[in-house]
Amino acid sequence: MQIIPAIDLKDGRCVRLYQGDFAQATVYGEDPVAMAQRWASLGAPRLHLVDLDGAKQGHPVNTPAIHAIVAALKIPVQLGGGLRTAEDIRATLDLGVARVVLGTAAVAQADLVAQMVAEFGERIIVGVDARDGLVATDGWLTTANVRATDLIDQMAQLGVQRIIYTDISRDGTMTEPNFAAISELLRPTGPAIIASGGIATLDHLKRLAELGVEGAIVGKALYTGAIDLAQALT
């Protein structure tokens, strides 16, 4: 299982939100490149970037910071947030981003997801962000009448091979992942699952590994020191 540090970008800075609430943002660093280099130096196999402003506004916003991070690192970077057109997706991949994460587009533009999967294959990931089992979109500001399990099944039929699942109620809370919901999503022939939200201890990581997820995205627990990345990787 890969342990993937998260860097959430808002106004060019590294922040973490509480349950996806833009009004509850904690700034953990003014220099995203330095933060990215820190996690890479500790052995992170890849980084997970989120353009929070982009997710809210519906188009990429923090592109200069993203470009600088990609240029400074040798490990792969995956990025989500505001990628809702073929042009923006292609431009982001051209920056050197290894994978892009489509969330809102997966709900509103399944045809776009199908087109991008046909064009870029495994470089397209779908992010399924759920609140009480229903998918949230537009930077988590809107809840769609779509169940997370149904969306994952639909995306699998389009050829999507990797899903990032986030339980919004756990995100930034450092309580624990929604193990029950994650286990329901794991299927022998289904897409690989990367878990996100609520991870706060090494035990949480061990339990996720035992479930069989491909990766675990860790944010606040790294920034607060609750999880030591080098120790977790070991």
Q: Which residues are catalytic?
A: 8, 129
Backbone angles phi, psi at 42, to 5 degrees: -85, 0
Contact 24, 18 (CB under 8 A): yes
Reading the block at residue 134, the tokens are 């229903």
Contact 102, 124 (CB under 8 A): yes
Residues 6+ apart with CB under 8 A from 141: 56
CA 227 to chain centre: 18
**Segment holding 33, helix H or strand E:** helix 32-41
Q: How many Cα atoms occupy the beta-carbon half-sphere of 50 within 13 Å?
A: 26
Residues 6+ apart with CB under 8 A from 147: 133, 134, 135
**Segment holding 93, helix H or strand E:** helix 86-94
Cα separation, 103 vs 137, in Å, equals 7
Backbone angles phi, psi at 160, to 5 degrees: -65, 130
Of 152, 151, 181, 184, which Cα lies nearest the Cα of 168? 181
